A and B are shown apart, each in its own frame.
Chain A
Amino acid sequence: MLAMLDDVTKVYGKSYGLRDLTLEVPTGQVIGLLGVNGSGKTTLLKLLSGLLLPTRGQVSVLGEPPRRVRSKLVFLGETDAIYRWMGPTDAGYLMSGLYPDFCPQRYRALLDSLQVPTRRAGAMSKGERVRLRLAMALAREAALYILDEPLGGIDLAARERILQSIVGQWRADASIILSTHAIAEAEGLFDRVVLLKQGSLVLDALAEDLRERGESVKSTFLEVLG
């Protein structure tokens, strides 16, 4: 098992971010994490990456607490976090300095396929910055890629390119877990889908199994959460 959340609860003050959640992440799987806003997706992803600690329960990646294996995980968050003075080349140097597993060749190929412009981040659109940050993230050779809404607020053509990049970067010895609202477009990517509702896991199924039963991930989502 590559990673695991074992009976995890996360409380924020008086409210539950996640409640009694157990999730196992095998190697080589692409997991779609779905749910309405506020259902606990970001909480789950941050717990998995070690950015948050659980109130109860255990989180492990490669058998250890996530913070101990930070070098083996990649977290791409929703916040537009990149120094505005940096261009793609500067960002590449930063990543090379921080991460020995960062691959400059793959980075350049991703910058190209994601059509990231050669301007400083401050002069890029939000969508262009997301694509830059995605190139930075996917060019690392990690065991677990945790992507929080990588398609959020992005135009259609760019969404297509992002999906293609994620598909292309998949390796059998790594896993990807990503949250998105663009279910209809992204569903083809997922081996497995996990649906959250108000902090609890309400569905965990293989995407092709759902389709075998005549459903789609989209129809299942609407049925379970609509």
Chain B
Amino acid sequence: MTVGKTWDLDMAAGPIYRQIAQHVRRALACGVIKSGDRLPSVRELAQQLKVNQNTVVHAYSQLEREGIVETRRGLGTFIRDGIPVAVSQRELLIAAAQRYAREVLALSVSTEEAIEIVREVLDAGDVG
């Protein structure tokens, strides 16, 4: 379980608990973790990231509220069964598309041209 090992937390990019929850959602969407997998314990993850244990608890509670994880007393926090990965993937792509759309609008580029550029980049497999 390599969740947490290569995460980049940005202290100026909003609350850490939110960044942690986002990382878990992303790991799920990318297939790094799957339904039934156990997340690191609060203490383990807090130590890996060098953040307060309460912050990790907050992140896990958030994910539990969203129905992505469940805490089983004495066993740990697990990704719930039957999480539709496709939904998470779509959400991540929508967020990425929104970032792209902001650039497109700022540069006053047409939608057709914007889509054409995406197509070229994906066809060439050149992700920079």
| A interface, CB within 8 angstroms of B | 28, 30, 160, 163-164, 167-168, 170, 184-185, 187-191, 207-208, 211-212, 214-219
**CA gap between A217 and B10 in the complex, in Å:** 11
Given A163-B50, A167-B51, A168-B47, CB of A187 within 8 Å of CB of B11: yes
Q: Is the CB of A214 within 8 A of B50?
A: no
- Whether, in the assembled complex, B114 has its beta carbon less than 8 Å from a beta carbon of chain A, the answer is no
**CA gap between A215 and B50 in the complex, in Å:** 19
Closest to A184 in B: B11
Least CB distance from A138 to B in Å reads 13
Closest to A217 in B: B11
Least CB distance from A81 to B in Å reads 27
Q: Is the CB of B16 within 8 A of A189?
A: no
**CA gap between A219 and B13 in the complex, in Å:** 12
Q: Is the CB of A216 within 8 A of B12?
A: yes
Least CB distance from B44 to A in Å reads 9
**CA gap between A171 and B55 in the complex, in Å:** 13
- Whether, in the assembled complex, B54 has its beta carbon less than 8 Å from a beta carbon of chain A, the answer is yes
- Whether, in the assembled complex, B33 has its beta carbon less than 8 Å from a beta carbon of chain A, the answer is no
Interchain residue pairs A-B with the least CB separation, the first 7 = A188-B51, A216-B11, A216-B12, A208-B15, A164-B47, A211-B15, A163-B50
Find chain A residues with CB under 8 A from B16 CB: 188, 208, 211
Find chain B residues with CB under 8 A from A185 CB: 50
Q: Is the CB of B54 within 8 A of A191?
A: yes
